[in-house]
Amino acid sequence: MIVQLVVTGLALGSMYGLVALGYHITWATSRTMNFSQGHTVMAGAVVAYGFFVGLGWPFLPACAATLLCLAAFGAAIERLAVRPFFLAASPAWLLSTIACGIITENVAMLFFGKDARAFPSPLTQRPILVGGAGFYPQELLIPIVGFLLMGGVQLFYHRTAYGKQLKAVAWNPEAAGLMGIHIPRAVMSAYALSALLAGVAGILLAPILNVAATMGTIIGLKAFAVAIIGGLTSAPGIVVAGLGYGLVESFVAGYISTGAREIVGFALVILVLIVRPWGLLGSRPTRRV
């Protein structure tokens, strides 16, 4: 049973971390966040279902088309719901991105329906048995892909010229603009990348959780909890927090109850906010005297 709980916890934790990295990417670039990030995960699962099951496309082309749609969706959110307030230095982007999430969920309900649907995958048909425990190959694939993407994001930000430009926008937008960096385009790129990561999470989680128009809300909340616990300014902290959060959830659900996992998980957020508000590995804000 322990092996099964560990595999499940790592699978969920890596996805929470991947979605939480989306919060980190937009925050690190523009000091704004897309609070419809969870609904973007749902959009990835629903769009992939539409291409793969609804239209009968092969899996890989369906995934590629889904990720292109999600990147465009993220760019549209930045352009319509964030940029007007970002340029005006207004925090109203918080409510506008929440509104985008609510609209996305209701559009999905309108066209997809309220009922959950199974997403067919050969990796969820025959479980792997280890002792008396069993888990699906899909649950092993999720953390592998998650770790690869997390590493890829870090390489992009620290090893590529454009990634360094995105970081420069966050530190000093005015100086970055004077250096020739196109600020609105950089922020839009960050939102597109954030939505793309959420789309990958939606595709990977769909065979495990099934596809539903309401699946994004709790995923987005838990990913935000992971971002807070790890530290919004620290990608490594978010990865560690995601894995830890997933393992805690899995073991609490396995040994206590599924209802208790939400209590314990969000209680951890409150504890971190009390003890270390900037997150486990986040940067402590400096005080100006």
| Sequence-separated (6 or more) residues with CB below 8 Å from residue 68 | none
The CA distance from 70 to 237, in Å, is 26
* Locus of tokens 């959110």: 77
- Check residue 30 and give its pLDDT: 86
Residue 44 pLDDT exceeds 90 = yes
Residue 286 pLDDT exceeds 70 = no
Out of 23-27, 76-80, 81-85, 282-286, pick the least confident. Answer: 282-286
* Locus of tokens 């109203």: 92
* Residue 180, SS3 per DSSP: coil
The CA distance from 259 to 218, in Å, is 13
pLDDT in tens, 101-118: 999 999 999 999 989 999
Mean pLDDT of 211-228: 94
- Please name every residue paired with 128 in a beta bridge, in sequence order, or none if there are none: 135
- Check residue 289 and give its pLDDT: 46
Residue 257 structure tokens = 């109850």
Environment class of 160 (CB within 10 Å of its CB; exposed 0-12, middle 13-18, buried 19+) = exposed
DSSP 179: T
How would residue 207 be classed by pLDDT, with cut points 50, 70 and 90? very high
pTM > 0.95? no
Mean pLDDT of 113-141: 86
How many other CB atoms are there within 10 angstroms of residue 112's CB atom?
19
Residue 288 pLDDT exceeds 70 = no
